[in-house]
Amino acid sequence: MKISVIGCGYLGAVHAATLASMGHTVVGIDVDPGKVEQLARGAAPFHEPGLDELLRDGRQTGRLTFSTSAAAAKDAQVHFLCVGTPQDKTSDAADLTFLVSATEALLPHLAAGAVVVGKSTVPVGTVQMLRGALAPRPDVLLAWNPEFLRQGTAVKDSLVPDRLVYGVDGGRAAAFHSGTGAPLGETAALDTVYEPLLRAGIPRLVCNFATAELIKSAANAYLATKISFINAVSELCDASGADVAELSEAMGMDPRIGGRYLHAGLGFGGGCLPKDIRSFRAQAADLGVTAVADWMRLVDSVNLGQRERTVGLAAELCGGSVAGRSITVLGASFKPDTDDIRDSPALDVADRLAAAGAHVTVTDPKAVNHAWRRYPRLRFEAAAGRALEGAELVLLLTEWDEYRRLSPEAAGAAVRRRVVLDARNVLDAAEWQAHGWVVRGLGTRGADVPAVERALPRV
Ligand code: UDX
């Protein structure tokens, strides 16, 4: 098929490249000439494992091109809208400006019978609004096909997704399910796009627009809920002497619960979960569903509270105040295997420590180059070994493999004081303690356990 992908960020660039790898002819369109030039050269503008290879393949086969002009979409049969829907500058709601302008730019170039497919995460009701924009073209079909990919595993998530969701007009969805009426053009088009995935047995669900919009928001809200739940419990663990890592491992063994997204620590960040739960809260409040709105507010505040808690623990480990202390932060990206620093919990904590007077050095395998511009108060150092030199406190804030595997011996030789706050709960505390380190985590305060056990009657 001939396909256009509008918006070549974390979602669109990966979507365009994976569609080309499935055999389609794809043009990626973005308003940023720098990004388009880089993608056209076969180089990803951000770190995403496997993406460079797909871009190079697409360039070699000639199936993947990029352009800054919406006119480049004119021959495509299917157009995917993959533009960003960031948080509004003055409220919790999603800003749909890019989505509206992308649709308007596309309008004059749509061929008869073309299918426009939205992939961006949007509040419920957005598709109805876009239908208004597409009203001058009644021959054009509209569908919503939310994307569930995670940064760091985006290529794999796109090629082997858990499910495909097709949102279509309510009446047409009902006709599809009852088997009455003509086959749906938009469903047939999407089936052709995803033919290799469907052949591999990936399930696909056809539903109405509102359901498709809410599936994505509700899925992200649930993942955020799981993380904030275990983080709230981790505080209870600290208060009682329990160990949250053992607790969550045991909880996760129950298949009704499952262990994923149940890892306690510094909490979630990035360009998606935080803004998506805020948008979900704003949607629920607008629709008068206070239970969901209150729920999301709590999930958000527990999440942000973890950052506060980490800053407080750092001060405690420095004897009450971080002022004047040399602190090394391991990790700047919002999670491992990406160089994305949007709403990074690690940089937020590092910056607060610097604001409190600490001398903070941040290291990261991929994100140092663009992070230093945004955080002038922090010192950045690409090599972990150099960053650790002279540290009085080490904070592990993003669990890159490199930091999980750090040698306590070598790290110990570099620092001034062997004290580590493992805010992602990934280090082998016993091994680090054996090398003379004081190790603290969030919800895993090993050192206090005997004292608490003495205070509690044994069963
Ligand atoms: C998320 C959703 O997973 C994805 O389906 C959606 O399409 C976009 O938003 P992503 O932002 O790439 O994807 O990140 P994800 O891997 O879900 O992690 C989000 C955050 O949660 C990270 O900051 C991570 O460190 C944190 N996290 C994750 C935890 O703190 N604990 C966990 O157990 C899991």
DSSP letters, 237-266, are HHHHT--HHHHHHHHHTSTTT-STT---SS
pLDDT in tens, 325-341: 999 999 999 999 999 99
Place 182 in a pLDDT band, splitting at 50, 70 and 90. low
Q: Which atom of ligand 1 is nearest to the CA of 224?
A: 21
User: Over pLDDT 70: what percentage of the chain?
Assistant: 96
Q: Are residues 167 and 48 in the same domain?
A: yes
Do 110 and 31 lie in one domain? The reply is: yes
Is the pLDDT assigned to residue 113 strictly greater than 90? yes
Give me the number of domains the chain comprises: 3
In this structure, is residue 459 part of a structural domain? no
Read off the pLDDT band of 448 (50, 70, 90).
very low
User: 240 and 161 in one domain?
Assistant: no
Report the b/e string of 166-199 with b at 16+ CB within 10 A.
bbbbeebbebbeeeeeeebebbebbbebbeebee
Instruction: Reply yes or no on whether the pLDDT at 374 is more than 80.
Output: yes
Domain boundary (304, 336, 367) is at: 304
13 and 126 assigned to the same domain: yes
* Residue numbers of the domain that contains 420: 307-454
> What is the C-alpha separation between 103 and 100, in angstroms, rounded?
5
* pLDDT at 127 > cutoff 50: yes
Catalytic residue, chosen from 8, 237, 272, 318, is 272
Among 304, 321, 346, where does a domain finish?
304
| pLDDT (0 to 100) of residue 457 | 39
Phi/psi region, residue 125 (left: phi>0; alpha: psi -120 to 50; beta: rest), is left
- Decide whether any atom of ligand 1 lies within 6 Å of the 353 Cβ: no
Q: With a cut of 50, say whether residue 452 has pLDDT above it.
A: no
244 lines ligand 1 (CB under 6 A): no
Q: How far is the CA of 399 from the centre of ligand 1 (A)?
A: 13
Cα 56 to ligand 1 centre (Å): 28
pLDDT at 181 (0 to 100):
65
pLDDT-based confidence at residue 451 (cuts at 50, 70, 90): very low
Write the residue with the smallest CA distance to atom 5 of ligand 1.
148
Please state, rounded to an integer, the average pLDDT across all residues of the chain.
Answer: 94
187-193 mean pLDDT = 96
Q: What's the whole-model pTM score?
A: 0.93
> What confidence category does residue 175 fall into, taking pLDDT thresholds of 50, 70 and 90?
confident
- 78 Cα–ligand 1 center, Å: 29
Pair 391, 439 in one domain: yes
The DSSP secondary structure of 77-141, one letter per residue, reads SEEEE----PBPSSSSSB--HHHHHHHHHHGGGPPTT-EEEE-S---TTHHHHHHHHTTT-TTSE
Q: How many percent of the chain have pLDDT more than 90?
A: 92
Q: Is 272 a catalytic residue?
A: yes
Asked which of 165, 188, 207 is the last residue of a domain, the reply is 207
16 and 123 together in one domain: yes
Buried residues in 332-346 as b, exposed as e (16+ CB within 10 A): bbbbbbbbbbbbbbb
